[in-house]
A and B are shown apart, each in its own frame.
Chain A
Amino acid sequence: MEREPEISVRIFSDPQLLSGIRAMVEAIAKVVGFTDKSRGLLTLAVDEALANVIRHGYQNRTDGMIWINLWRVREPRGIRIVLEDLGRSVDPAQIKGRDLDDVKPGGLGVHIIKETMNESCWENRPGGGMRLTLVKWLSPEELQNSTPTQPENTIP
């Protein structure tokens, strides 16, 4: 059985709330041991995922619900974030980053998520909406340079 998330937040699908979530992810990523550059990219990836939920799942409505659950993971050390919503469902197979040779504004979010995260998995959520699981591990350099923590509630 899955452990309870270490952090669990529910927000409305309002873009003005995203800065608060970025600050939270950044702070936890620092505790885990990510470098400034990795924290920046991780924060960007989570922000892009939430922006996609708002834009595509809720079609820019600001009253949709988004649940954000977060765990520190132990082996390998890193962070796991699960986003769930009740917005419009899409076939996960259709979620693709766009061809970067096609220079046009928009559609970069999925590419950023896939490039940044070690794992990114979109699923249809039972009961409607989507679930996105994001995992990022510390790099070998980050692992070497960070102080190991012993969180009690981490996923082995």
Chain B
Amino acid sequence: MLRPGGDIDMSRASTIRKAVAEVMKVRPAKLIMDLGSVEYMDSSGIATLIEALQHAMRNKMKFVLVGVGPRVRSAFEITKLIGMFTVCATVEDATKI
């Protein structure tokens, strides 16, 4: 599971991208990303998650988002991309998928 915090913007997206790539190297059956501590996400952050999702799909892995707060959800909604992701309310819910 990955649990980034703070703001995911242009200055931090590459750090998150590297962290995701590192976890995906071991090809887990499922990667849960807990966004509960993320206060802000811009399109760089969204692009990073799209890349992670596409990588997961290519490798038959599950990629699940949890703890998507209102501001992060708004960013996803305005780009009409929220429907692409599997989103759960809690980590516990995500582990059951």
Q: Using C-beta atoms within 8 Å of the partner chain, give the interface range for chain B.
A: 20 to 34
Residue of A nearest to B52 (CB): A105
Residue in contact with B50 in the complex, picked from A15, A44, A54, A105, CB distance below 8 Å: A105
Within residues 87 to 133 of chain A, which ones have a CB less than 8 A from any CB in chain B? 100, 103-106, 108-109, 111-112, 115-116
Write the chain B residue with the least CB distance to A15: B11
Per the bound structure, the CA–CA distance linking A112 and B45 in Å amounts to 13
**Which of B40, B50, B51, B84 gathers the greatest number of chain A CB atoms within 10 Å?**
B40
Residues of chain B contacted by A111 (CB below 8 angstroms): 78-79
Number of residues in A with C-beta < 8 Å to the partner?
Answer: 27
Whether A18 sits at the interface, judged by CB under 8 Å, is yes
CB contacts (< 8 Å) of A54 on chain B: these are 10
Which residues of the partner chain A approach B80 to less than 8 Å between Cβ atoms?
A: 100
A40 engages B9 (CB within 8 Å): no
Chain A contacts of B11 at CB under 8 A? 15-16, 18-19
**Contact: A105 with B47, CB < 8 Å?**
yes
Chain A residues whose CB sits within 8 angstroms of the CB of B9 once the complex forms: 15, 18-19, 47, 51
Task: Select one of B42, B47, B70, B74 contacting A47, CB under 8 A.
Answer: B42
Q: Which positions in A face B, CB cutoff 8 Å?
A: 15-16, 18-19, 22, 36-37, 40-41, 43-44, 47-48, 51, 54-55, 100, 103-106, 108-109, 111-112, 115-116
Q: Which 8 A-B pairs have the closest CB atoms?
A: A105-B47, A15-B11, A108-B43, A15-B10, A40-B71, A105-B50, A51-B10, A16-B11
Which residues from chain B sit less than 8 Å from chain A, CB to CB?
Answer: 7, 9-11, 40, 42-44, 46-48, 50-51, 54, 70-71, 74-75, 78-81, 84
